[in-house]
Amino acid sequence: MTTLTAPIPRVRLARFRDLTLVPVIVILLVVGAILDPTFLTAGNLTNVLQQQSAISLLVLAEAMILIAGKFDLSLESTVGTAPAIAVMMVIPVTAGGFGIALPGALAIPLALLIGAAIGAFNGFLIIRFQLSAFIVTLAMLIIVHGLLQGPTEGKTLFELPDSILYLGSATWLGLPAAIWIAGVLFAAGIFGLGYLRVGRALYAVGGNTDAARAAGIRVDRVLYGVFIVGGTLAALAGILETGRLGAIGNNMGVGWIFMVFAAAVIGGVSMDGGKGTILGALTGVLVIGLVQNILTLIGVSGFWQPVIYGGIILIALMISRIAGGKAQD
Amino acid sequence: MNIHVEARNVVKRFGPTVALNGAKIAIAEGETHALVGRNGAGKSTLVSILTGLQRPDEGEVLFSGEAAPALADRDAWRQRVACVYQKSTIIPALTVAENLFLNRQTERPGPIDWRALRARARELLDTYEVDVDAHVLAGDLSVEQRQLVEIARALSFGARFIILDEPTARLDGPAIERLFARMRSLREQGVTMMYISHHLDEVYEICQSVTVFRDARHIATRPVADLPHDELVAAMTGEATAAYASRSRTPGDRVVLSGEGLSLAGRYTDIDISVKSGEVVGLAGSASSGKVGLAETLVGLRKADAGTVTVNGTQVRPGDVPAAMKAGLGFVPEDRHHEGIIPLLSVGENATFPIARKLGRYGIVSPTRRRAKAEQMIEILDIKTEGADQPVGDLSGGNAQKVVFARALVDDPTVLVVINPTAGVDVKAKQALLGAVEDAVDRGAGAVVVSDELDDLRICDRVLVMFHGRVVKDVPRGWTDHELVAVMEGIED
């Protein structure tokens, strides 16, 4: 009988599955260079990375949550709400604050704490009450965005403390700090999910919850963890975006979640849980960033860009499907 | 004789249902002990109590005479008892190595050393002689390989007692033999085993003693050698049941189902098959013989590369299930969970899908007519359900399978194709299901029975044995197990 012999070494290629989008990135770089001479300059590429650094943190968060077999739509609302509420706790009433006037240095820790709290609340509803992650976070997407619009009454916050502007606008060693932060966090994510037991536990929980439980993994604790980390990363993304724009608009983060899912999924993270890597998700972010940049450089009207994004996402999906060989789920 | 594992006076209630009522079991050191009983007898509950997943409401569990550890102390449990569950606890997207050492990838705190992990995995696989690469994804393994990995993992915690919960349910003949060989060698090494199966012949082959549970109670514990087959069945069912006696019949002349020149790459080659009205034709063979692929082609679930299928005189477009059903075909698919039932829908809806168009006009399904038809099917097939409105997902395996049969039979088919009709159902349900096939044939239908179980094939007027995608022999009624198995394994042609 042949059943006991191992499958052919085709699986060795599996370790390159993370990299199926690399050819797409190469093609985009070549196409970009041909279409516009400024594309391959250091200035432009830095610009691409900086623009993507905030959204990439959301992709990092969503990738972890998806790998653990859950779902979070509310991340995009946290992006605007967490820094906005934190800022309103430190600025004076005249600038639109609550009038608590806490020290300005607390803005960042407060924002991160608010993000973590939103994540914890999502986790509470989903894990403790066993509600559907999709519906819970859809409701939270609406509620959390409302918590930005309500207190600000739809106005943009302009007078911000210096502390919250710093990370998104500083330059460290010649590169924007936001790129360093995103880079370090992705490196930590790649390491954590690849080499730490707690990171591997996400795959176990997302792949087969019963098996994870039987192996002694504290499933609920792991899931709380990813939701809290997810919310915190979304708040950090909001802080970076705030620094980059210099203000907190009423629509900050709105609509990001579609791009976040697109980046994670074309990067090979399965919507069914248990599959995908952080490196893959990173390549997904880069593809989307490059496409956006090329479209802007060649002067495609902003009104037409969504059609092209959508098309490119579909093409990237098909390419990674063919390269990956397996049906996607 | 030392008692290795003992459960005394165990009571376990789930709300109003009593799953175990003063049940007991005592397993001697080094023996392979069978636990048998019909669906719902309390076997699974005992497994979860013996593995420390649930606490008994009353009673106690002893390992080598000592009280069982606290429920929270998973490590202590794992050193005492290992279990290969009915449901796979393998994570398909992870490698074999990681599955083996899930949640203990490192021996000390710190990052995982993947190379060292693979080496440990290889060592473990070598120890238990499992011929699987440690670095492949577990999802790429066959069912048998996955099970071997689970056994190796279970034993790697150092337990000397292992529970095998229906390990043969999804294995084919040769794989079962290899599993048994492995169990025998584990026994020689002094490992105690508890073996759960619906297949009584396996109990006789591999076990030394047997404990029978019925209706949440302990009925008997006896050495296997002293317990005749019919007494064991009687203990399980609570009444004397004779082995299923198949009926004799004379097939008619009209061919109701035929396949000509059928080939499908990688599955079967150049098959001709014809089934007459009033005839039962069996398809036998190992998992790689292509028998299931052929049956799925006959019903339209698969499209053959070449050849034609004719149902009741109509040549059916390949791969078109509705057309085959319209021509008068009913079928029971291989896996009831995947293709057989829609668990959240009611018994009535599941049973009447094929005739929905006959139950009302303009796409409207009349609930009253559906209910009437469903109640009729529930009565004919003796489905144990609260009523036609109960979701099928709540039924036991045997009753759910009867609902699949109801769906196949509801339109009074002239051709009936059943694949593994009695998989995972108990003795009595098995007899009822085989009876249902014979009833349909007595009404003039022609039937094809595809099965891994020799007992199912006994109702066949002739059995076509397949080997590597070809029909190698047409065996008439009156074969012996040995004869048929020899042909299936390709030992004799």
Q: Is the pTM of this model over 0.80?
A: no
The reply to whether A2 falls in a domain is: no
A212 CB neighbours in chain B (<8 A) are 91, 102-103
- Shortest CA distance to B331 belongs to which of B307, B301, B357? B301
- 3-class state of residue B72 by DSSP: coil
A275 CB neighbours in chain B (<8 A) are 93
Gap from B111 CA to chain A (nearest CA, Å) = 5
Could you tell me if B34 and B225 are in contact, meaning their C-beta atoms sit under 8 angstroms apart?
Answer: no
The angle, 0 to 180 degrees and rounded to 10, between the axes of the packed helices A75-90 and A107-123 is: 140
Q: How confident is the model at residue B279 (pLDDT cuts 50, 70, 90)?
A: very high
Q: What is the DSSP letter of B284?
A: E
Residue A185 or residue B154, greater confidence: A185
The reply to whether A5 falls in a domain is: no
Ordered structural domains, chain B, with CATH: 3-90+141-237 (3.40.50.300), 255-488 (3.40.50.300)
Subunit contact B111:A196, Cβ cutoff 8 A: yes
A215 CB neighbours in chain B (<8 A) are 89, 102-104
Subunit contact B103:A212, Cβ cutoff 8 A: yes
What is the rounded CA–CA span in Å between residue B378 and residue B351? 9
Tokens of A318: 């098909």
pLDDT digits (tens, 9 = 90+) for B410-419: 888 899 999 9
Subunit contact A211:B91, Cβ cutoff 8 A: yes
Subunit contact A11:B174, Cβ cutoff 8 A: no
Q: Where are the beta strands (DSSP E) in A129-241?
A: 171-172, 175-176
**Type of residue found at B226:** D
Subunit contact A4:B92, Cβ cutoff 8 A: no
The reply to whether A1 falls in a domain is: no
Bridge partners for B58 per DSSP: B11
- Shortest CA distance to A259 belongs to which of A294, A286, A232? A286
Which CATH number goes with the domain that contains A60?
1.10.3470
A200: CB partners within 8 A, 6+ apart: A193, B94, B98, B102, B103, B105, B112
Cβ neighbourhood burial of A162 (10 Å; 0-12, 13-18, 19+):
exposed
- In chain B, count H helices and then E strands: 16, 20
Q: Does B181 touch chain A (CB under 8 A)?
A: no
What is the rounded CA–CA span in Å between residue A217 and residue B104? 10
Could you tell me if A313 and A50 are in contact, meaning their C-beta atoms sit under 8 angstroms apart?
Answer: no
Above pLDDT 70, what percent of chain B?
98
CA angle B386, B391, B393 (to 5 degrees): 110
The reply to whether A32 falls in a domain is: no
The reply to whether A257 falls in a domain is: yes
Subunit contact A211:B112, Cβ cutoff 8 A: no
Could you tell me if B325 and B356 are in contact, meaning their C-beta atoms sit under 8 angstroms apart?
Answer: no
CA angle B225, B231, B234 (to 5 degrees): 145
Q: Where are the beta strands (DSSP E) in B265-359?
A: 268-276, 280-284, 306-311, 314-316, 329-332
Looking at this predicted complex, what is its ipTM?
Answer: 0.82
Is the C-alpha dihedral spanning B142, B145, B151, B152 positive or negative?
negative
The reply to whether A57 falls in a domain is: yes
Q: Does A201 touch chain B (CB under 8 A)?
A: yes
Subunit contact B93:A191, Cβ cutoff 8 A: no
Could you tell me if A268 and A320 are in contact, meaning their C-beta atoms sit under 8 angstroms apart?
Answer: yes
CA angle B273, B278, B283 (to 5 degrees): 35
Please state the domain count of chain A.
1
Residue B363, CA distances (Å) to A88, B345, B357, B375 in order: 59, 18, 7, 22
pLDDT on residue B389? 86
Tokens of A175: 């590169």
pLDDT digits (tens, 9 = 90+) for B369-424: 888 888 888 888 888 888 888 888 888 778 888 998 998 888 888 999 999 888 87
The reply to whether A9 falls in a domain is: no
pLDDT on residue A10? 44
- Shortest CA distance to A240 belongs to which of A55, A8, A31? A55
Q: What is the DSSP letter of B185?
A: H
Tokens of A206: 């997302």
The reply to whether A125 falls in a domain is: yes
Q: Is pLDDT above 80 for A19?
A: no
B88 CB neighbours in chain A (<8 A) are 208, 211
Q: Does B334 touch chain A (CB under 8 A)?
A: no
- Shortest CA distance to A244 belongs to which of A181, A184, A152, A309? A181
Nearest to A6 among B102, B105, B133 (CB): B133
Could you tell me if B304 and B264 are in contact, meaning their C-beta atoms sit under 8 angstroms apart?
Answer: yes
pLDDT on residue A8? 42
Q: Helices marked H in B328-463 — which ranges? A: 347-352, 367-381, 397-409, 427-442, 454-457
Q: Is pLDDT above 80 for A7?
A: no
Range of the domain at A184: 17-25+39-324
Nearest to A216 among B98, B103, B141 (CB): B103
Residue B350 or residue B282, greater confidence: B282
Tokens of B386: 């609260």
Nearest to B94 among A191, A196, A203 (CB): A203
Q: How confident is the model at residue A1 (pLDDT cuts 50, 70, 90)?
A: very low
Q: How confident is the model at residue B242 (pLDDT cuts 50, 70, 90)?
A: low
Q: Where are the beta strands (DSSP E) in B324-373?
A: 329-332
